[in-house]
Chain A
């Protein structure tokens, strides 16, 4: 609709981005990289919300507000996660997720 681009294209882009995030989360062992992967996932969801809002319900603003809130939550999550990462680094002198296994068994 907008400039003749169908909604599916947006959605496919965000889906690919989402699963790249998931793959990154599973593959990388550096905690900060995992955090970035999470940001990718959240961002792709944001795109979905906004696109749905624009294409399906252009007379309302729900999608935009949800994206807004997700950005807020992402900020909160990032700050707490980074605090945790710094603490872990202090304790273990590295930030590999494989070493964070004190809770096993």
Chain B
């Protein structure tokens, strides 16, 4: 299975770009680092398309389904004979798919940023961080073992922190980056403990061994349990917590909306298309283990996903910051994917949910990146993030308008756009598994259509606002990615995912489930119609509704006060009753002890330093006298 060694370059190019632009970018004209970064990402993009083409259509599909290929692997740490940490590249359907997703979106964002970030300070720094992020994300998806994944996972967290805090002069950006880092780091703790339990139980980090469906490696693990729950369920649940942190699942979702403080291309890259799906990817990667060894964890995943999608969709309706609307929509869609994984079976038709989740991940990456980049284009034109500063923009931003409309239709699940297909598969999978979850998702589909078109009508229709200057269409570097992603959003739905990316790597046949598809389209249309009525023309109805629902509306607008609750818990309970006594103890007892030692030592040395007089003859006298004293004592004691 040689011939895939070039995939190393997909990974290495961003790293090299990061080093070059990071170290030397300051000295160049800003545009140089931008062009280098974009060109490098272009190469990575082409290479991963090549890899995907030869992997999916190049005859690796045998009787066993798609083979797992490891074109490159080195031993990094040899802890014991059985516990070896390796670094390598693993190609199987989901990682190849993720390669395409990451490099596509990253390339588009690089290109887009040439226009969007023009004239901003720290242009080279921005590109260096983007490259670092891309590198870590690629390293994460092609990891051959869970430990390598964890390393890159943390790298992703760091680079995301750097990018969110890009405008480091802005206090809110700094706060947001810290929040994102701390919340995800907190979740990563769960991930790490999960990894440790898992490797303790199985003695390996290797995905190849962990995810083989026969589960022979877990033979000895069944008997291990803690508090009545098997060790593997613990491990899987903890790992899911890590994934939930990265993918901003409820209740660890609070960092994602704030992360919108970063530049808009960053939001598109990180908080829509790549980093947040890392959690989904993790669950998908561990899917055989979760499904066969820890069904309880899978239930948790399904319900957390379902709840998050509903919860976020409700909040999205009331937000005015367009990036926040998109952020909550992302949360909601991620909930969809989690839910699909949670309800999936293994193999063949049973694995529909798995396939649907990956499918939705792919289409979502395209249309959400498009939405964010479109929003960036709007913000670029209007210099505001708020809907009430916008209106009637369709005249000024024709390309943005069309592409944004396509994206909205896609996310609303209107055929023939790609979102329709993937969402449909998820709904079918949910229906097969659990009627309640299906109902939730069905409702969310309608809500999604509603809030997206509320956004759309508010921004592009309605009456003109008073703008500082006439909004103008963005430069070519920004519109090309928009058009490309719009085309991808339209046609991605026709990719035969059920033949390519499945739970057991074997293709299966599925057909349109009209019984589900028609109602879901209808509810989407209903949502759109509702938004049309309420927001197409300026009207008083939304205001009235908001007043009528009073408390509920305010609660939703404030994101159900989750931030405040966390803040309260952190400040009043953890800080007050845990941190403060610990800090006191540290400052007064521990530090005091150390300071005491230092003071005593200093006093003593001050006292005895007079002996170091520098007078050679004193030393000589003491030396001779000491020798004599020794000799005398020996004479005295030995006789």
A interface list, Cβ under 8 A from B: 22, 25-27, 29, 34, 97-98, 100-105
Please determine whether A97 and B624 come into contact, CB atoms closer than 8 angstroms. Answer: no
CB–CB B615/A25 < 8 A = no
Contact A105-B616, Cβ < 8 Å, known A22-B624, A26-B621, A26-B624: no
> A26 to B617, Cβ gap below 8 A?
yes
The answer to whether B620 and A104 touch across the interface, beta carbons within 8 angstroms, is no
How many interface residues does B have (CB within 8 Å)? 10
Q: Does B607 contact A (CB under 8 A)?
A: no
6 more CB-based (< 8 A) A-B contacts, given A105-B609, A105-B614: A22-B624, A25-B620, A98-B615, A100-B614, A104-B614, A104-B615
**Complex Cα spacing A27 to B615, Å:** 12
B613 close to chain A: CB less than 8 A = yes
Q: How far is the CA of A97 from the CA of B613 in the complex (A)?
A: 12
A25 to B615, CA, bound (A): 12
Which 3 pairs of residues, A with B, have the shortest CB-CB distance? Answer: A104-B614, A101-B614, A26-B621
B612 CB-CB contact with A under 8 Å? yes
Closest A residue to B618 using CB positions: A26
CB < 8 Å neighbour of B614 from A25, A27, A103: A103
Sample 14 A-B pairs with CB under 8 A, ordered by A number. A22-B624, A25-B620, A26-B617, A26-B621, A26-B624, A27-B617, A34-B617, A97-B617, A100-B614, A100-B616, A101-B614, A102-B614, A103-B614, A104-B614
Q: A101 contacts which chain B residues (CB < 8 A)?
A: 613-615
Give the CA-CA distance A82 to B101 in the complex, in Å: 81
User: A102 — which chain B residues lie within 8 A by C-beta?
Assistant: 614
Q: Which residues of A contact B616 (CB under 8 A)?
A: 97, 100
> Which residues, 593 to 614 on B, are CB-close (under 8 Å) to A?
609, 612-614
Taking Cβ atoms with an 8 Å cutoff, the residues of B that contact A are 609, 612-617, 620-621, 624
A27 and B617 alpha carbons, distance in the complex (Å): 8
CB-CB < 8 A to A103: which residues of B? Answer: 614
Q: Which residues on B sit within 8 Å (CB–CB) of A97?
A: 615-617
Known contacts: A22-B624, A26-B624. The answer to whether A104 contacts B617 by CB under 8 A is no
Q: Can you name the residue of chain A whose Cβ is closest to the Cβ of B610?
A: A105
- Asked if residues A26 and B620 are in contact (CB atoms below 8 Å), the reply is yes
CA separation between A27 and B609, bound complex, in Å? 23
Q: Please, which residue of chain B has its CB at the minimum distance from the CB of A37?
A: B620
Q: Using Cβ atoms and an 8 Å threshold, which residues of chain A touch B613? A: 101, 104
Among B609, B612, B616, B620, residue most surrounded by chain A Cβ atoms (within 10 Å): B616
Complexed CA–CA distance, A34 and B616 (Å): 11
CA distance A25 to B618 in the complex (A): 10
Q: In whole Å, how far is B187's beta carbon from the nearest beta carbon of chain A?
A: 55
Contacts of B612 in A (CB 8 A): 104-105
When distances are taken between beta carbons in the complex, the residues of chain B under 8 Å from A29 are 617
Complex CA distance for A23 and B613, rounded to whole angstroms: 20
How far apart are the CA atoms of A50 and B609 in the complex, in Å?
43
In the complex, how many angstroms separate the beta carbon of B188 from the nearest chain A beta carbon? 51
**Within the complex, what minimum Cβ distance (angstroms) separates B496 from chain A?**
83
Residues in A with CB closer than 8 Å to B620 are 25-26
Question: Which residues on A sit within 8 Å (CB–CB) of B609?
Answer: 105
User: In whole Å, how far is A60's beta carbon from the nearest beta carbon of chain B?
Assistant: 28
Residue numbers in B under 8 Å from A22 (CB-CB): 624
Q: How far is the CB of A33 from chain B (nearest CB, A)?
A: 11
B603 CB to nearest chain A CB (Å)? 16
Nearest residue, chain B, Cβ from A100: B616
Complex: A85 Cα to B614 Cα, angstroms: 17
A28 to B26, CA, bound (A): 67
Q: For B621, list chain A residues within 8 Å (CB).
A: 26
Residue in A closest to B619 when the chains form the complex, CB atoms: A26
Q: How far is the CB of B631 from chain A (nearest CB, A)?
A: 13
State A29–B618 Cα separation when bound (angstroms).
11
Q: CA of A105 to CA of B613 in the docked complex: distance in angstroms?
A: 7
- Shortest CB distance B508–A (Å): 84
Closest partner residue, chain A, to B605 (CB atom): A105
CA A100 to CA B614, docked complex, whole Å = 7
Residues of B within 8 A of A25 (CB): 617, 620
Q: Would you give the shortest CB distance from A57 to chain B, in whole angstroms?
A: 25
Docked CA distance A34–B612 (Å): 20
Which residues of A lie under 8 Å from residue B617 when comparing CB positions?
25-27, 29, 34, 97
Please measure, in the bound complex, the distance between the C-alpha atom of A50 and the C-alpha atom of B621, giving whole angstroms.
28
**A91 CA to B18 CA in the complex, in Å?**
56
Most chain B beta carbons < 10 A, residue from A25, A26, A100: A26
Query: Using Cβ atoms and an 8 Å threshold, which residues of chain B touch A100?
Result: 614, 616
Complex CA distance for A101 and B621, rounded to whole angstroms: 16
CB distance from B613 to the nearest CB of A (A): 6
In the complex, the chain B residue whose C-beta lies closest to that of A22 is: B624
Q: How far is the CB of B19 from chain A (nearest CB, A)?
A: 48
Please give me the residue from chain A that is nearest to B613 by CB atom.
A104
> Taking the nearest CB of chain B, how far is it from the CB of A22, in angstroms?
6
Q: Which residues of B contact A98 (CB under 8 A)?
A: 615
Q: What is the bound-complex CA distance between A80 and B609, given in angstroms?
A: 30
Query: How far, in Å, is A67 (CB) from chain B's closest CB?
Result: 23
Measured in the bound complex, the distance between the Cα atoms of B620 and A101 in whole Å is: 14
* Bound-complex Cα distance A104 to B611 (A): 9
Shortest distance from the beta carbon of B141 to any chain A beta carbon, whole Å: 62
List, in ascending order, chain A residues with CB within 8 A of B615's CB: 97-98, 101, 104
